[in-house]
């Protein structure tokens, strides 16, 4: 009996020890450097210096959000320097920045000691480094999420808060006839764009705002209608021809543009893809692909932001959307924007992040939110980590 008690006590002790060990392994731990890779090269963190492109601007905003929490409207610092969770400890413009944890951060010091951010890393390099555990965190293109998961990379995706749309540029004569714009809109197979190009990492878009945000996206059709497109083109007669511009450095937009070209050709419409970059000498296209990121989960604010871009670009009639607009007002504004076919929503897709195994308590940011690294901590027991930075 006594022997039984000893054995039982030993077993209980072992179980308790194992439980305590397990619980202590899951507890946030301070320390470590989070290795981050981004594609853009940020050359200046000065808010008064303009970014070279949208990619640099986004990356600059993310880094800025880690350093400062409050700014004056003119971008200057309000309050003490480094009001954010991190402070700059090393800065090599366009290549590398190291942010150290701000011990004086009002909401408490971040768990990690520092963030080591490598800039100018291509999507392929980021994916390879994630696979090789040479990086802890990197944003990867949505269309590569499935491939990344297939090679063992942890994937974290936000809500589909980015919109890919086709905008017919204002004043272009080739797109003056609404039937041409409608024919092109109807012949595009949005499901194919999502399923094959985005590898199902997103959703077909018929409206400007996603269903999860507005709740009314289902009221806008996303189905393709090549027969209807052909009928419209038959009404027009001849063989309309359009030039479709896309960002020359964006393979996703290039793929979508080529798919649109194929769909349009099948319907009898000639669309010529044209890569666009600053100073490439190409003429102004008739339409272009445009990416729009929601600045806020709130649909009215996001729609206002979208329209701010789309109205001048596509020559839409100015749409007034009040702050705190109702669902009906949002619907009306969206309907007014898309019914002229000057803006053709194509797909929503999320921000996708690749994480190493030791990154703990990461959650995908909401629209407009900076990367939430304050709560992230590194599990020292996870994976065979190498602290050595990237070359």
Partner 1 sequence: MTFRSKLFWVFTLALIASVALIAAGVTIVTRQAFEQMYSQHTDALVAQFQREFDQRKRDVARQVRVITDEDATVRMAIALSRPQADASVYVNDATGVSQSHQLDFLDFVGSDGSIISSAENPERFGYKLDWLTQPVDWSSLGSFLMKLDTQSGPAIGLMAVSSVRVGDKNLYIVGGERLGRNFLGSLVLPAGMRALLYLNLDPGFQAVNLLDQDGPAAEGDRFAPFIDRTRQNPVPGTFQVAAGPDLARTEEFHAQPLLGRQKELLGVLLVGTSQQEMISIERRIRTLAESVVAIGLLISLLLSWWGAARVTRPVRKLAVVAREVSEGNWNARVEEKGGGEIGQLARAFNQMTRQLSEQREHLVQAERVAAWRELARRLAHELKNPLFPLQTTVENLQRARTGSPAQFEEVFRESTGILLAEIENLGKIVGRFSDFAKMPQPELASVDLNEIIRGAVKLFEAQFSAVGRPPITSEFHLAEDLPPIQADAALLRRALENLILNAMDAMPAGGILMLRTTREKGEVHLEVSDTGTGLTPEECDRLFTPYYTTKQHGTGLGLAVVQSVISDHGGRISVESEMGIGTSFHIYLPFKPGIRPMPAPLAETREVVGTQKA
Q: Which residues bind partner 1 (CB under 8 A)?
A: 146, 189, 192, 195-197, 199-200, 255, 258-259, 261-262, 265-266
Q: State both tokens at 241.
A: 């021809």
Pick between residue 262 and residue 360 the one whose CB is nearest to partner 1.
262
The alpha carbon of 152 is separated from its chain's Cα centroid by a whole number of angstroms, namely: 21
Question: Least distance from C-beta 195 to partner 1, angstroms?
Answer: 4
How far does Cα 227 stand from its chain's mean position? 34
Distance in Å, CB of 145 to partner 1, minimum: 12
**Contact in structure between 55 and 61 (CB atoms under 8 Å):** no
* Token duo for residue 57: 């601007």
CB of 142 to partner 1, least distance (A): 13
List Cβ neighbours of 47 (8 Å cut-off, separation of 6 or more). Answer: 64, 71, 75, 76
Q: Report the Cα–Cα distance between both ends of the chain, in Å, rounded.
A: 64
The whole-angstrom separation of Cα 158 and Cα 354 is 12
Q: Which residues contact 150 (CB under 8 A, 6 or more apart)?
A: none
Strand partners, 359: 378
Q: Which is nearer to partner 1, 273 or 365 (CB)?
A: 273
Minimum CB distance to partner 1 smaller for 259 or for 351:
259
Beta-ladder partners of 98: 90, 116
Q: How far is the CB of 265 from partner 1 (least distance, A)?
A: 8
Contact 201, 346 (CB under 8 A): no
| Residue 194 or 333 with smaller CB distance to partner 1 | 194
As to burial, measured by CB atoms within 10 angstroms (0-12 exposed, 13-18 middle, 19+ buried), residue 134 is buried
Are 271 and 300 contacting, i.e. CB atoms less than 8 angstroms apart? no
- Smallest separation (angstroms) from partner 1 to the CB of 157: 16
Q: What is the CA radius of gyration of the chain?
A: 25
User: Tokens at residue 352, please?
Assistant: 């996708």
Q: Rounded to the nearest whole angstrom, what is the least distance from the CB of residue 217 to partner 1 in the complex?
A: 22
Residue 199 or 248: the one with the smaller Cβ distance to partner 1 is 199
Minimum separation from the CB atom of position 264 to partner 1 (A): 11
CB closer to partner 1, 258 vs 375: 258
Q: Which residues pair with 290 in a beta bridge?
A: 165
Compare residues 13 and 147 and give the one whose CB is closer to partner 1.
Answer: 147
CB of 204 to partner 1, least distance (A): 13
The nearer residue to partner 1, 61 or 192, going by C-beta atoms, is: 192
Distance CA 365, CA 376 (A): 12
Nearer to partner 1, 255 or 329 (CB): 255
**Minimum distance from residue 198 beta carbon to partner 1 (Å):** 9
Angle at alpha carbon of residue 228, lines to 162 and 225, rounded to 5°:
40
């Amino acid at each position: 009996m006594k022997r039984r008690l000893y054995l039982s006590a030993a077993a209980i002790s072992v179980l308790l020890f194992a439980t305590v060990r397990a619980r202590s392994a899951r507890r946030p731990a301070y320390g470590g450097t989070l290795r981050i890779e981004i594609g853009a090269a940020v050359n200046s963190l000065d808010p008064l210096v303009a970014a070279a492109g949208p990619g640099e601007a986004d990356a600059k905003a993310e880094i800025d959000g880690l350093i400062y929490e409050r700014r004056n409207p003119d971008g200057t610092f309000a309050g003490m320097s480094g009001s954010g969770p991190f402070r700059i400890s090393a800065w090599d413009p366009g290549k590398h920045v190291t942010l150290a944890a701000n011990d004086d951060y009002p909401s408490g010091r971040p768990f990690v000691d520092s963030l080591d951010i490598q800039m100018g890393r291509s999507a392929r390099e980021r994916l390879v480094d994630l696979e090789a555990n040479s990086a802890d965190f990197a944003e990867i293109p949505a269309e590569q999420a499935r491939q990344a998961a297939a090679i063992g990379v942890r994937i974290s995706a936000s809500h589909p808060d980015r919109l890919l749309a086709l905008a017919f540029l204002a004043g272009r004569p080739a797109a003056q006839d609404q039937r041409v714009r409608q024919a092109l809109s109807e012949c595009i197979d949005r499901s194919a764009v999502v399923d094959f190009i985005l590898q199902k990492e997103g959703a077909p878009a018929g409206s400007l705002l996603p269903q999860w945000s507005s709740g009314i996206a289902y009221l806008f059709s996303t189905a393709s209608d090549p027969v209807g497109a052909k009928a419209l083109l038959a009404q027009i007669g001849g063989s309309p021809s359009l030039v479709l511009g896309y960002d020359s450095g964006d393979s996703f937009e290039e793929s979508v543009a080529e798919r649109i070209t194929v769909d349009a050709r099948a319907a009898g419409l000639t669309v010529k893809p044209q890569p666009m970059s600053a100073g490439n000498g190409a003429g102004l296209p008739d339409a272009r692909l445009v990416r729009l990121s929601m600045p806020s989960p709130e649909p009215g604010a996001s729609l206002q932001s979208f329209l701010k871009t789309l109205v001048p670009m596509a020559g839409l009639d100015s749409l007034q959307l009040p702050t705190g607009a109702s669902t009906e007002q949002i619907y009306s504004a969206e309907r007014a924007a898309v019914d002229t076919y000057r803006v053709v929503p194509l797909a929503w897709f999320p921000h996708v992040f690749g994480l190493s195994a030791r990154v703990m308590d990461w959650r995908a940011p909401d629209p407009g939110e900076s990367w939430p690294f304050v709560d992230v901590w590194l599990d020292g027991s996870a994976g065979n980590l190498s602290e050595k930075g990237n070359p």
